[in-house]
Amino acid sequence: MLLSPFVKILIRSCFIRSCFFFCSIVVLGLMLTFGFKTSYASTTSQASSTLQSSHTSQNLQNSKGSQALQNSQGSQVSQSSQSSQTTANSSNANSAQNNLQYQGQSYGWFYYNWQLAQDADEELASKTTVPPVPKFISSAWLKMALPLYLEQALDNPSEENVLTYLYLQNYATQQASLFSEQVTLLTQGNALLDNNGVFPQNAVARQYREQMAAHTRRMVLSHYAHKLLLVFTLAGDFESKNFAILAAQNAEALGIKVVIAAIDGQVIPELRKFEYLPAEEALAFADNAQVEILPTVHVFSLEKGEVLVEGATDIQDFEMRLLRFMYKENIISRQQFNLARGVINERLQESEQVGDLIKKLGK
């Protein structure tokens, strides 16, 4: 097919343009590739130089810091070495101890505990030490050594240990018995030491003394009864009732005035004849007197009042408490006080007399 000249010119121009475009693309690609490599190389060289300068300055600083650190840590090297050595020794000791303690761990926990228990018993037994027995055994040595020998005999009750303790104990008992015997021999016939005249030892004489003291006590209480006032603080329980009946009737027989402060407001038939405080006054009295135990008996004289007894007691002790209160308040004399409590002959020695007697013993 024949092409027209116009078409041929058009095809030729398109081909030439295509070739030119392709060559342009190739040239542009080469230029771009070469330019990137050059830029990358320059950038890399600049970064390398910057990094090298930074490393150089940092190395200088590090060298200075290292030198200062070495100087500051120089004084600590010996201490660290000593501490490390001590720690190592301690670790080695603990390791050795643990190895000793856990040698039998393969046998089970019972074997391990049994071994520890045996070691503890041996340690306790070895701690018990006793002093040797001296040629002359004094009371001071017995006081110090006898408990140690007892501990040794209890920890290890062998024949030797038990007999040693028994011999020492028997000797101590013997010395105490000899001392008691000597006291009896020296007291008898000594007017200053023999207290049979004050408190008779014979049963018949003691009974007579007690009867005479009871009679004297009631006479003294009756003579000074007008100087006393008794206030019974009680409630209607069994103990208060029985004690109050006995004590109030005995006090009335001696001539002592009795007042009842019943905090529950109840009137005991056996005590109807005595004066009762109103319920409000009884509660106020118990509160002011700080009564904590029932029954409580207060005793009052013209100058003073105090608690005589808390709780129940017997008649003899009740009268002795009244007697001691009268003696403290100087209502009765010491002679009356002694006779009323059964002291027949009282010997009071002055310290100078005792000193003179002791000085005469050395002559």
Per-residue pLDDT tens digits for 94-107: 555 555 455 555 55
Q: Please report the pLDDT score of residue 361 as a whole number.
A: 83
Distance of CA 247 to the CA centre of its chain: 45
Phi, psi of 230 (to 5 degrees): -115, 135
Structure tokens at 145: 């050594």
Asked whether the beta carbons of 323 and 341 are under 8 A apart, the reply is yes
- The rounded percent of the chain whose pLDDT value lies above 90 is 42
Quick: pLDDT tens for 274-318.
Answer: 999 999 999 999 999 999 888 999 999 988 999 999 999 999 999
Residue 248 placed within a domain: yes
**23 to 28, 237, 302, 304: CA distances (angstroms):** 8, 136, 147, 142
Is there a single domain that holds both residue 139 and residue 257?
Answer: no
Residue 173 placed within a domain: yes
Asked whether the beta carbons of 298 and 306 are under 8 A apart, the reply is yes
Is there a single domain that holds both residue 249 and residue 282?
Answer: yes
Mean pLDDT within 152-158? 93
The beta-strand segments (E) located in 99-255 are: 229-234
Residue 94 placed within a domain: no
Q: Say how many domains are in the chain.
A: 2
Quick: pLDDT tens for 235-286.
Answer: 887 777 888 899 999 999 999 999 999 998 889 999 999 999 999 999 999 9
Chain position carrying tokens 């002790």: 317
Is there a single domain that holds both residue 178 and residue 301?
Answer: no
Question: Among 104-113, 143-152, 222-231, where is mean pLDDT lowest?
Answer: 104-113
Residue 20 placed within a domain: no
Is there a single domain that holds both residue 154 and residue 183?
Answer: yes
Strand order in the sheet with 296-300: 275-276, 257-262, 229-234, 296-300, 305-310
164 pLDDT more than 70: yes
Q: How far apart are CA 144 and CA 123, in angstroms?
A: 23
Is there a single domain that holds both residue 238 and residue 291?
Answer: yes
Tell me, yes or no, if the pTM score tops 0.85: no
Is there a single domain that holds both residue 254 and residue 304?
Answer: yes
DSSP code of residue 276: E
Torsion of CA 209, 211, 216, 222, to 10 degrees: 160
Residue 31 placed within a domain: no
Residue 257 placed within a domain: yes
Q: Please report the pLDDT score of residue 73 as a whole number.
A: 46
Is there a single domain that holds both residue 261 and residue 302?
Answer: yes
Residue 41 placed within a domain: no
pLDDT bin (cut points 50, 70, 90) of residue 51 is very low
Is there a single domain that holds both residue 214 and residue 336?
Answer: yes
Residue 320 placed within a domain: yes
**168 to 158, 175, 179, 241: CA distances (angstroms):** 16, 11, 17, 57
Domain containing 182: what range? 127-187
Is there a single domain that holds both residue 224 and residue 253?
Answer: yes
Is there a single domain that holds both residue 317 and residue 259?
Answer: yes
Chain position carrying tokens 């008992």: 173
Whichever domain contains 259, its CATH number is 3.40.30.10
Is there a single domain that holds both residue 218 and residue 330?
Answer: yes
Mean pLDDT within 348-355? 75
Is there a single domain that holds both residue 144 and residue 221?
Answer: no
